[in-house]
Structure 1
Amino acid sequence: MFAIVKIAGKQFKVEKDQTLYVPNIKGNAGDKVEFGEVILADANGNLSFADAVSVKVQAEILDHVKGDKVIAYKQKRRKGFRKKLGHRTHYTKIRISNIA
């Protein structure tokens, strides 16, 4: 069984006991969260859309982590202008515990 769920504005295909990194979610490690915005659900080959059935996805927050460093380098030729910027995006590591 899988579901396509919208988490923090992005769509993810999730299955039970799957671990994934999603954009930052408020909460501490060990907290339970529930996502009610399910777009599509599959139960043994039967597809159902969000309008037809109410499906909830339950997950547990495992950790808050940072992604890889992204470098943005700006330069203007013949002007002596160089600027190096970087950032690391914050993610939340979650484990899908149940699709009900």
Structure 2
Amino acid sequence: MFAVVKIAGQQFRVQAGQSLYVPHLQGKTGDTVEFSDVLLTGSEGDLSSGAGVTAKVTAEIVSDLIKGDKVIAFKMKRRKGFRKKLGHRTQYTQIKIQSIA
């Protein structure tokens, strides 16, 4: 069985036992998180979507804070002496899907 879940504005296709990285969630390692915004569920060729979906996805937080790769935004205007270097590292949370009910 699989489900398409909306987590922090992004859609993820998940299955029970799957581990994935999602945008940073509040909580500590070992906490259980429940996602009720399920967009689609399917099992063995049977799909249900829209208002007919009443499933909930439960997951456990494996690692609460993981930083992604550094992204650098460099701005420059030629012949003007203007240079600006900005950068950031996106924060993620690693979760493991326990069940889809």
Q: TM-score, normalised by structure 1?
A: 0.96
* Code of the aligned partner of 1:76: K
How many residue pairs match? The answer is 100
Report the counterpart of residue 61 of structure 1 in structure 2. 61
Report the counterpart of residue 18 of structure 2 in structure 1. 18
| 1: CA distance, partners of 2:56 / 2:49 | 12
Report the counterpart of residue 93 of structure 1 in structure 2. 94
Mapped contact 1:60–1:94 kept (Cα < 8 A): yes
Cα deviations across residues 16-65 of structure 1 (Å, max 9, x unaligned)?
11111111110001000000000000022110114113100010001110
Within-5 A mapping of 1:48-87: 48-63=48-63, 64-87=65-88
| 2: CA distance, partners of 1:53 / 1:85 | 43
Q: More deviation in 29-38 or 49-58?
A: 49-58
Give the superposed CA RMSD: 0.8
Mapped contact 2:40–2:53 kept (Cα < 8 A): no
| 1: CA distance, partners of 2:19 / 2:80 | 48
Q: Between the two proteins, what is the percent identity of the paired residues? A: 61
Q: Which runs of 4+ in 1 moved over 3 A?
A: none
